[in-house]
Structure 1
Amino acid sequence: MVAVFPQKHLTDIAEWHRMGEAGIFPPEARLELIEGEILHMAPIGFNHAGHVARLIHALTLRVQGRAIVNSQNPVQLGDLSEPEPDFLLLKPNPDFYTTRHPKAGDVLLLIEVSDSTLRFDREQKRRLYATHQIPEYWIVNLIDNCLEIYRQPDDGDYQEQTTLAKADTVSLVALPEIQVRVADIL
């Protein structure tokens, strides 16, 4: 007798979109497609939501005309992943991405606000974003009250990793003239 083990069914972006269009998932479900797996995401708490609002407030006016601010919407990474990061700065697009989801090459800065998802954001999402050459990835770490910055994606990870405190200031890689006080987002 040959042993048979259950196998995962991995899905791709096309099948993921068809499932959404068919109404397979309840409208209130918080789901992401990560490396072909459909993952349930934690509900957004008030502290998390407030920090996303702080990011929007701190960066929107500074990047006006140079980038598009996007929050908690999909970004397509290859054929197997469509995460919904907490915050994105995207390259300008005349139709504001109304005809397609942004792709990795459209991303200037990607930010996750992390409390209960910190380990996942540091490990799986960091590698996912580096693999797809997202040039700059920040984690607003609500557990340790710091900003983790990941830059220079290469070979599935980031070569530069920095942790900043509230007293620090950071410039964006894609828009170096823009400086952000970490206290404004923490």
Structure 2
Amino acid sequence: MIAILDLPEVRQRVSPLTVEDYHRLGEFNENGKRTELIRGIVIEKMSKSPLHATIASRLFKLLLPLVPEGYTARKEEPLTLRDSEPEPDIAIVKGSDADFARSHPTTAALVVEVAVTSVELDRELALVYAEAGVEEYWIVLGNDCAVEVYRRPVNGVYQEKATILSGRELPCRSVPGVSVALEQLFA
């Protein structure tokens, strides 16, 4: 079955929102669901499976003590980008919490999305994050016990992509001192 947004005649009639317009909306849509803005389109956030929640929580706990001075870790908090305002599972940004009291970060050193049922969407987000200059992007493949790693954004495209399997160490090249033993993550 073809997705309705794949039809050119429908895509031309979609009314995209700017980030500024999106900020004027309420936190919840008319159905009481949380949303995020991706490429000018308001998308309802997906519910989280137990596997997704467990991996995201475990990874945040593993990363938090490793975050160096001058960086801050954020969990499920917005990044304000050119035409999107995603809420990644984890982001490590340069600066302190106080730096973002009046506006969300506009890029990150590291963004992590946990993908249990959303792998294709999270792979599409690689373009959004690369365009925003996110230095490193990880997609944690919960069902496969692996992590797709995207690095070196140039002109809106990551130049490096690798898949790291469980049992290996995953060093973050964009945040000094941050490294994750995937065996611990997928235990």
Question: TM-score category by the smaller chain?
Answer: 0.7 to 0.9
Residues 32 and 82, structure 1, Cα contact 8 Å, conserved in 2 = yes
Q: 1:49 matched to which residue of 2?
A: 53
- Aligned to 2:151, the other structure's residue is in SS state strand
Aligned 8 A contact 2:70 2:96 in 1? no
The alignment of Structure 1 onto Structure 2 pairs a total of residues equal to: 176
Distance of 2:88 and 2:137 partners within structure 1: 10
State the partner residue of 1:84: 87
Code of the residue aligned with 1:91 in structure 2: it is: K
Q: CA deviation at 1:55?
A: 1.2
Residue segments in structure 1 that go unaligned for 5+ positions in a row: none
Checking the alignment, whether the CA contact within 8 Å between 2:68 and 2:176 is kept in structure 1 is: no
Once the two structures are aligned, what percentage of the paired residues are identical? 28
Match of 2:160 in 1: 160
Q: CA deviation at 1:42?
A: 1.5
Q: Distance in 1 between matches of 2:116 and 2:36?
A: 17
Residue 30 of structure 1 is matched in structure 2 by 34
- Superposed counterparts of 1:64-79, under 5 Å: 64-78=68-82
Rounded Cα–Cα distance in structure 2 between residues aligned with 1:126 and 1:98: 26
Q: Distance in 2 between matches of 1:28 and 1:140?
A: 28
Equivalent in the alignment of 2:15 = 9
How far apart in 2 are the matches of 1:72 and 1:27?
21
Q: Give structure 2 stretches of 5+ with no counterpart.
A: 1-8
Alignment-mate amino acid for residue 147 of structure 1? V
Cα gap change, 1:27/1:86 in structure 2, threshold over 3 Å: closer, same or farther? farther
Q: 2:100, 2:184 → 1: CA distance? A: 28
Partner residue in 2 for 1:99: 102
Change (3 A) 1:27 1:84: farther
| Structure-2 separation of matches of 1:175 and 1:103 | 17
Measure the CA separation in 2 of the matches of 1:28 and 1:170: 38
Distance in 2 between the 1:65 and 1:28 partners? 38
Q: Which residue of 2 aligns with 1:141?
A: 141
Q: 2:24 aligned with 1:18, yes or no?
A: yes
After superposition, where does 1:116-127 map in structure 2 within 5 Å? Answer: 116-122=117-123, 124-127=124-127
Could you say what secondary structure the match of 2:91 adopts? strand
The CA distance in 2 between the partners of 1:40 and 1:20, in whole Å, is: 13
Amino acid at match of 1:108: A
> Residue 78 of structure 2 aligns to a residue in which SS?
coil
Match of 2:113 in 1: 112
* Structural RMSD (CA): 1.9
Aligned residue identity for 1:58:
L
Paired AA for residue 152 in structure 1: R
TM-score by length of 2: 0.86
SS in 1 for 2:170: strand
**What amino acid is the match of 1:146?**
A
**Equivalent-residue separation in structure 1 for 2:130 and 2:30 (angstroms):** 31
Q: Which letter maps to 2:121?
A: F
Aligned residue identity for 2:92: L
